[in-house]
Structure 1
């Protein structure tokens, strides 16, 4: 039994050695295969990468469209009030009412004023009666002088009395006319057609002289006030029609004039346009579209074609064909002349009809082989 046990233990140990050897051989084979695979990937020749390209076209007269915001306002807007103070007897209009020129809008209580006018008229009539008596007396004194019954001095005194009476009558009439003028000023009328946009007082309130009680806006004559750079305002032609964009749609306005003076704060010139057609309302913003020339030779590229270079410059990746007919990438430095949201106007060492990478610059590097894809 002891001999048999020893023999079995010897056989088990042999099998263990054989299994270990087989496992080591398998590991060696797997490592060799993995190294071979990695060696194939590392040394394989990479293929050319397809890239989206565009063809360079230089322009000498490139123009850009710029939008300048302005405000639509009423050409006339007035705060209306009474020249003389008093108690308001009537407010004939309310906010939102449309009125025509000459319409009555508000009236003061004029009972006291009318009584003063009546008193002034009575004084005028009394002065007129005194004038008539003085004139009659002067005529009789003239007859007496011709008959030699009175002296010239007496006639002169009577004539002076007549002149004084006429002066008192003129003063009384002037006082009555002044009160009638105040009566006319006790009524507010519309100086132009428009819409009442504010009412600051009601019946029974005491209006101070010159204090506004109503605001009237001329809604039939709207204008646009807009601040423009000097270069943008210079080409505008008086009487020419220009297009504006609003939230309600497109409107047209005629250029009336400009101040010609540069505002020291905004560095702009105020231009005035009269709206001729379109859905315009006072208080809205209108944007003027103007074409402005760049004045430099260059070409347009999408912003996705630019990568930042040194010293504030930019670069594009140009496709260069080698002697074997393959395309390689070559960086070229460009200068931006105008940058918009999705494109830029640049100039640099790039010729007409050369191809540049339009997008996907994060996928490529200078010197890489590529295949151009236009469109």
Structure 2
């Protein structure tokens, strides 16, 4: 008798479940592997972007230096009386604007008047004696012709006449001296200007060595500035310079200064050469004080080949040197570049840029900013960011 095995329905269901789970696990594993491979490939194909800039060689660079000078009046003097005397009148004071020929102060001339009157009286006396002498000479000549007088008397009268003439000449000279002294008792302005200081008052007894006023020429200012000899040797007369007064730069052409003289003497204290500059236009009242400090900007051209680049394009290198990254094309069509470090020398820096040398004198493409994020040999993509071309700029 044949017995047939009956299939258990529960076992059949369990087998189906295991088969489904196996298929699901296999599919999940394959999916995960695929994503890992894709992620790895994406990682391998990513390149960091970099802002690149092409720099071109320059033959020289210009340094703008500020030198401290001061505004000075073209003419300035300490006015004083030529002779001692008592001050009778002071007509001006500090800050007064005066004209050439204007009376500033007056000395008492009463004593001079008395002396002049005395000398004029002596002159009249001598003139009267000359008149008498001439009359005596006429009589003596008549008597000599008639034989009643000697020639000795004639000689005496002639000598007396010469003495009287000499006395009159001496008196005239003394009178002229007093007249000159009387004229100099009035202190007169020698040119248009401004009284900066007054040292006398009515009733003072002035001495020859004592200044009465300090006086400067008005609105004819110059600038005096000392600069190194090497810089002075590069300048030529007629050059125009910008000036700065009270931290305000006067860049208007009508307010710039022109070089009118280069000194030939080196200052023994600070070893500088003195320059004189003339304002192209008179300064306004607020900027025309005598002795006011001024900064004169002088540009000096240095003939050394090199490159201008942004300060952000260089970073600290080894042993105190400076380093930048040169970007060389990789040769593919993906606009990719390989970075190579290069050591350079910084010759000059301005507010935002640097002038360097140490590279071959040909155009180079460099990393313009963020150089600390890159390493040598790294492959980067050129950034689409547009950078200002600062080659040759010193701003």
**2:124 is matched with which residue?**
125
SS of residue paired to 1:259: strand
Residue 240 of structure 2 corresponds to which residue in structure 1?
Answer: 242
Find out whether 1:261 has 2:265 as its counterpart: yes
2:104 counterpart SS class: strand
Q: How much does 1:284 deviate?
A: 3.4
1:303 corresponds to 2:311: yes
Q: Does 1:352 align with 2:356?
A: no
For residues 276 and 351 of structure 1, the distance between their equivalents in structure 2, rounded to whole angstroms, comes to 41
3-state SS of the aligned residue for 1:260? strand
Specify the alignment match of 2:288 in structure 1.
Answer: 281
Shift of 1:231: 4.4
Matches within 5 A, 1:139-158: 139-158=138-157
Over residues 297-337 of structure 1, what are the superposed CA-to-partner deviations in whole Å (9 max), with x where a residue is unaligned? 11112233223445654222222344666433322121223
- CA change 1:330–1:233 in 2 (3 A) is same
Pairwise CA distance, 1:75: 0.2
Does residue 317 in structure 1 map to residue 325 in structure 2?
Answer: yes
What is the CA distance between 1:183 and its match in structure 2?
Answer: 1.0
1:109 is matched with: 108
Could you state the TM-score of these two structures normalised by the residue count of structure 1?
Answer: 0.79
Deviations 1:65-111 (A, max 9, x none): 44444322110001111111222111111112111111100111122
> Following the alignment from structure 1 to structure 2, what is the Cα–Cα distance between the partners of residues 85 and 351?
76
Measure, in 2, the Cα distance between the counterparts of 1:228 and 1:99: 35
Find the counterpart in structure 2 of residue 58 from structure 1. Answer: 57
Quote the residue 1:21 is aligned against.
none
Q: How many residues align?
A: 333
Instruction: Could you tell me which runs of 5 or more consecutive residues in structure 1 were left unpaired when the two chains were aligned.
Output: 1-39
1:220 aligns with 219
- Cα deviation for residue 345 of structure 1 reads 1.4
Aligned residue number for residue 35 of structure 1 = none
In 2, distance between residues paired with 1:293 and 1:163?
Answer: 79
Q: Is the contact between residue 324 and residue 366 of structure 2 (CA under 8 Å) also seen in structure 1?
A: yes
Maintained 8 Å contact 2:339/2:379: yes
Instruction: Please say if 1:272 is aligned against 2:263.
Output: no
Partner of 1:201: 200
Pair 332,107 (structure 1): closer, same or farther in 2 beyond 3 Å: same
Are the equivalent residues in 2 in contact too, given 1:244–1:286 (CA < 8 A)? no
- When residues 272 and 119 of structure 1 are mapped into structure 2, their CA distance, relative to the original with a 3 A threshold, is same
Q: Is the 8 A contact 1:332 1:350 kept in 2?
A: no
Contact conserved, 1:127 with 1:172, CA < 8 A, in 2? no
Task: Please give the alpha-carbon distance, in whole angstroms, between the structure 2 residues aligned to 1:237 and 1:217.
Answer: 29
Q: Alpha-carbon deviations, 1:91-143, whole Å to 9, x = none? A: 11111211111110011112222212211221222222222222222222222
3-state SS of the aligned residue for 2:208?
coil
| Superposition TM-score, scaled by structure 2 size | 0.75
Q: Provide closer, same or farther for how the CA distance between residues 320 and 114 of structure 1 changes in structure 2, counting only shifts above 3 A.
A: same
Q: Which residue of 2 aligns with 1:33?
A: none
Give the RMSD, CA atoms, in angstroms.
2.7
Post-superposition offset of 1:236: 4.0
1:361 aligns with 2:371: yes
Provide, for residues 162-186 of structure 1, a one-character-per-residue CA deviation record: whole Å limited to 9, x for no partner: 1111222222222222112111111
Cα drift, residue 194 of structure 1: 0.7
